[in-house]
């Protein structure tokens, strides 16, 4: 590993609480601008890896769609984060009609898609219902973008009404959210920020036009990498680190080669897009871990010293025991 890559990993691991600890899951979600939760247990994994306990974690965060995926979000941050994709209803009036009926059902205490499917079965054709109430989001995803609904808690598949409609514009919130992104995820490029926030083409142009003169930077692989100097001592890269599925150290950058060697990419990131929990040795992915049938599993891609293998299993076992109590 060259010296610049080492410095990039060191700074990113510090910013992402992988070489230091965080005490509170809401603080962690706020500083990291959301915790990826395609699978909700990855939020629990991410929190435990970073030193956070899981007491009341199911209700401390709001589970909803931000950026381009499901995240656990600090509730106070939600209107600001939603402003990045603020705008009017995008699905057409037919689905707007269904969304209005969904809101009415939620107000009446009906929270599940399954119940709504039954209630809509004599009003709409099967194809319309499948699209509107899709398990991948459907009208719920659009209502979530508007700050009107979210999942009932971090582990629930049901929805509830919320009041998080953005009051600011994209242009209002972008500079500060970019600053927060660079503080946690830097060194990072503007392309990384655009990817992380899931910005469409026109909003990318606004991002790339921002004045970046106030940020320290260096050029690596012909790209400007921006960062903010840490206010505390920078920790060393840990010899061994467990990373959650969809860990921000891996999925938040357009170029993942600093952490994820190319030869392991297809093993870690499935064709479906699922990113598995991994083991990093000296900051680079070297294996997989998981909890299967209630037991920890550890698998390295190449031979490792016994202390590394034993420590990785102990870390995974510790997470396994703690998640049994809370998931």
Does 136 have pLDDT greater than 90? no
Residues 160-199: tens digit of each pLDDT: 999 999 999 999 999 999 999 999 999 999 999 999 999 9
- Among 9, 47, 28, smallest CA distance to 239 is for 9
The stretch 99-120 carries a mean pLDDT of 97
Q: What is the DSSP string of 177-222?
A: HHHHHHHHH-SB-HHHHHHHHT--HHHHHHHHTS--TTS-EEEETT
Confidence band (pLDDT; 50, 70, 90) for 209?
very high
What's the CA gap between 318 and 312, in Å, rounded? 10
pLDDT score for 327: 82
Residues 283-300: tens digit of each pLDDT: 999 999 999 999 999 999
Residues 9-67: tens digit of each pLDDT: 999 999 999 999 999 999 999 999 999 998 999 999 999 999 999 999 999 999 999 99
pLDDT score for 233: 87
For the chain, give the mean pLDDT.
96
pLDDT score for 1: 82
Domain ranges across the chain: 88-145, 240-326
Name the H helices within the chain: 3-15, 25-31, 41-49, 57-60, 78-82, 93-107, 113-120, 126-132, 138-145, 170-185, 190-197, 201-208, 248-251, 265-268, 306-326
pLDDT score for 242: 98
């Amino acid at each position: 590993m060259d010296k610049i890559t080492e410095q990039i990993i060191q700074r990113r691991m510090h910013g992402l609480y992988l070489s230091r600890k965080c005490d509170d899951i809401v603080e962690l979600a706020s500083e990291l601008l959301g915790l990826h939760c395609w699978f909700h247990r990855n939020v629990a994994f991410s929190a435990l890896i970073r030193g956070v306990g899981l007491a009341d974690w199911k209700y401390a965060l709001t589970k909803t769609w931000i950026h381009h995926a499901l995240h656990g979000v600090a509730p106070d941050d939600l209107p600001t984060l939603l402003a990045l994709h603020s705008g009017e209803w995008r699905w057409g009036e037919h689905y707007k009609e269904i969304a209005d009926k969904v809101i009415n059902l939620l107000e009446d205490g009906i929270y599940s898609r399954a119940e709504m499917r039954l209630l809509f079965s004599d009003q709409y054709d099967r194809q319309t219902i499948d699209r509107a109430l899709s398990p991948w989001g459907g009208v719920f995803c659009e209502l979530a973008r508007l700050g009107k609904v979210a999942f009932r808690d971090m582990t629930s598949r049901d929805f509830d009404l919320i009041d998080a409609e953005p009051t600011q514009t994209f242009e209002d919130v972008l500079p500060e959210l970019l600053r927060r992104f660079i503080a946690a995820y830097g060194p990072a490029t503007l392309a990384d920020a655009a990817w992380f926030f899931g910005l469409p083409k026109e909003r990318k142009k606004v991002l790339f036009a921002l004045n970046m003169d106030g940020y320290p930077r260096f050029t690596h692989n012909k790209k400007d990498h921006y960062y903010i100097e840490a206010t505390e001592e920078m920790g060393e890269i840990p010899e061994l680190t467990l990373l959650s599925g969809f860990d921000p150290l891996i999925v938040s950058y357009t170029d993942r080669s600093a952490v994820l060697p190319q030869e392991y990419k297809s093993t870690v990131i499935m064709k479906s897009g699922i990113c598995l929990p991994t083991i990093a040795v000296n900051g680079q992915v070297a294996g997989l871990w998981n909890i299967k049938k209630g037991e920890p599993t550890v698998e390295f891609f190449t031979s490792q010293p016994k202390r590394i293998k034993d420590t990785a299993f102990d870390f995974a076992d510790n997470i396994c025991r703690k998640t049994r109590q809370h998931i």
